[in-house]
Structure 1
Amino acid sequence: MMWAYRVDGPGFVRRIERPDDRRELAPGQVRLRFMVAGLCGSDMPKLNGIVVRKGTPAHDGAPIHEVVGEVVESASATLPVGQRVVGTGGGVTGLCEFLVVPDQRLIPVPDALGDVEAVSIQSLGTVLRAADRLPDLSGKRVAVIGAGPIGLSFLHVLKQRGAAHLTSIDPVDREDTARRYGADEFVRMRSTQWVDTLQDHERPAVVVEAVGHQHASITDALRAVADHGFVYGFGSPDDPDYVLPYQQIYERGLTLHAGRTLGDWHGVLAGSRDYLLKHRDDFSDYVSHVIPASDAQTAYSLYARPQRGRLKVAIVAD
């Protein structure tokens, strides 16, 4: 038997015991013993029943995908039994004692990093991959909508890449943290309100939307950006169709880019590992709460409510 969690109604999870299905691993797969997982904004719609993977009932598991684990069984040529690894796996059923993940989505954890520190590698990697798609930021005004964990990662990365003036926008009072991660200016208001305050000379050349899950912030980013500017939609959508201000896009020569991280997870994770090791001190408070798996409901409830002082929430094995 193994412990696992299942969604037990919108916003609620319940711990259960279920048989450990020790089916034979496919080539390249490894079986992990759960050590740590990080909660992500993209887990919340699944928790609330808004998004469920096709063919998978919501009650079969609890969503989590940023994982650190120990390899306990291996059909991989590169990840032996006993190896500590970090990566992406689990999806809507990730919060369980053992999970099977393809080795292409994992890399070894360096000895220098603790388990909780290492869990940030997956999400930071997606930010670095997105930043590779942005235009040259040298000397430019840049804005990031959202100052949660993803928004903070963007602040750090974009400052390192040469942004001359970096604005962070969030209705939650996260000014001290945003400035530590690279913001030159913090605007405590909703993005819709922020847009209405902008003078033409204050408009950023690049805007990153790091909120997702609703329509307004993408529209706000397009309204805020300077003429011929670039908007990157990072936050994941909950709806299949969005209504966008196409006339503004057309007449002002704007570029809208979006997309999830696909493909070379080894490269994404390795680049993130190296970045985190280089800037380890800067990310020392990135995981603000560490909660045991036996109290997973507290972790999900905490993460679901944006608030001052709450950044990345990690769930650790008891």
Structure 2
Amino acid sequence: MVGIDAGGTRIRARVAEAADGTVRGEGAGGPGNALSVAPADLERHLADALREALTGGGGARVRSVVAGFAGGGEGTGRERARTALARALRAVGAASAPVVVYGDADVAFAAGPGAPADGLVLIAGTGAAAARVERRRAVRAADGDGWLLGDAGSGFWLGREALRAVLRALDGRGPRTALAGPVGEVCGGLSKEAVVRYAYAGHPVRLAALSPSGGLRRGRRGRARARAPRPGGRGTVRHGQGVGAGSGGAAGGHGRPRRSGRPAARPARGRGPGVGPRPRARAGRGGGGGGARASGGAP
């Protein structure tokens, strides 16, 4: 069996024995959003992930394929996903395997503990969305409208807002910001030209690498610093009772969402290295960067 998780930043594929679930191979490819990635690129990224997962051949042994796609909800996105996946499977010699395609909300909810059929799921990765799941299918969604129209609070949104804040500070439209130094390191210089050049040098969703779980972090003393973005980086998936998860991960459960606890860190004090006062921030245990949370039961 082959399972595929096609997200906005990368595609992951895993091959396992149908009889006992023993994992036989894993692979990764480029971005997999069925709506925002060009069809030819989507097909190539899927083929790359499948080829790596099926190391040594073995495409002919594949008996079934299940895939979840960002942008793969009912309609155009799902049809694009099916078409690209069929061509990628053909390219690796697994064209005869039956295929089932889901949206990312469906597979994120299914990743929760147990086997709930109904509940809620919150996705906060490269994109962002919330959905109501009934009989293991998303029936109603909020946001998930892509980088151009929505995805508020997503990794991309956070990265774009960081660049916007620095640009406003550079031309006088906004206050000085502690993000200036780290953003300047990532962009290759602290100037409007350098920041704008970085932003438009590739696909827009690459700005997700500037989110707190990607290219920008806080040091031990609350000092903003830069970190080289890890291609396709994601948080660790963790499952637990209720909906409280650490930053950068995913949580699932069947209980009611629990309230955030006390702040995980005290607000930063002092001034940044020549870039103005530090922003004050608080994060509860339930907050954080990329990942998904699932909660069964009625909303």
Q: Answer whether TM exceeds 0.5 for this pair.
A: no
**Normalized against structure 2, the TM-score is what?**
0.27
Structure having the larger proportion of residues in strand: 1
